Amino acid sequence: MQTNDWGDSKVYRVACNCGDESHNHNVWVEADEHDIVVTIYTTGKTNFWSKTRWYHIWTLLTKGYVDTESSVHMTKQQALNYATVLNSAVKDVEDFRNNKNA
C-alpha cells in the first residue's frame, strides 16, 4: 500500500500475510541527482526474555547492539504485486527526476 508520494520519492507499507503489524516492512524508493535508492526497513523487537539479562548486557557491551529479525510472509500473488510495484515506483521516480532536470 502506497503511503506517500513526493514525486522524487515514494513510500510503501508492505503488510505481512500473517497480519502482525510488527512484521510490516516500509519501502522507500528515492531518486537523487545521481541514482535511484530503494530502502527497506522494519522496526524490530527483541524477545528480551528468551535469553538472560546478562546475555543481552554482554552482547550490548561487546557488539554495541542486539540482533533482531523480522520477516514478511507473502503469497505468490503478493510477491508478484510487490515486484511489479517496486519496478513501477523505480520507473516513476526516475522519470520524475529526469523531467525535473530537463
- Residue boundaries of the structural domains of the chain: 2-101
What pLDDT band is residue 49 in, cutting at 50, 70 and 90? low
In this predicted structure, the answer to whether residue 2 has a pLDDT above a threshold of 90 is no
Cell numbers that stand for 43 in this block: 522496526
The residue type of 68 is T
Distances (CA, A) of 59 to 45, 50, 65: 16, 14, 7
Percentage of residues of the chain with pLDDT beyond 90: 6
In this predicted structure, the answer to whether residue 26 has a pLDDT above a threshold of 90 is no
Instruction: Enter the pTM of the model.
Output: 0.64
pLDDT for residue 87: 92
Mean pLDDT of 42-69: 78
